[in-house]
Amino acid sequence: MTTDSPRWFKSSYSANGGQCVEWAPMHATTTGIVPVRDSKVSGGPVLMLSPSAWTGLVTLARSAEL
């Protein structure tokens, strides 16, 4: 079975009910573009990032005080 929809993975912080994101690593690997979306709005818009922009977003999120 094949599908055009990427397989999404939630942030590890989603388990605590926070506002989190999902990303599709296999899509990123095959296309070089990292899709990111709001984990609470699976049918909503998708932000398409370059690998360097994704790295910057993750770095920023990790440095934020929660």
Number of domains composing the chain = 1
Domain that holds residue 44: 9-63
Position 43 in a domain? yes
Residues 37 and 24: beta-carbon distance below 8 Å: no
What residues of the chain score a pLDDT lower than 50?
Answer: 1-3
Q: For residue 4, is it within any domain?
A: no
- Residue 2 is predicted with a pLDDT of 43
Q: Please check whether residue 2 lies inside any domain of the structure.
A: no
Give every CB contact of residue 66 below 8 A, 6+ residues apart in sequence: none
Asked, for residue 1, whether it belongs to a domain, the answer is no
3: in domain? no
Angle at 47 between CA 44 and CA 51, to 5 degrees: 150
Q: What is the pTM of this model?
A: 0.76
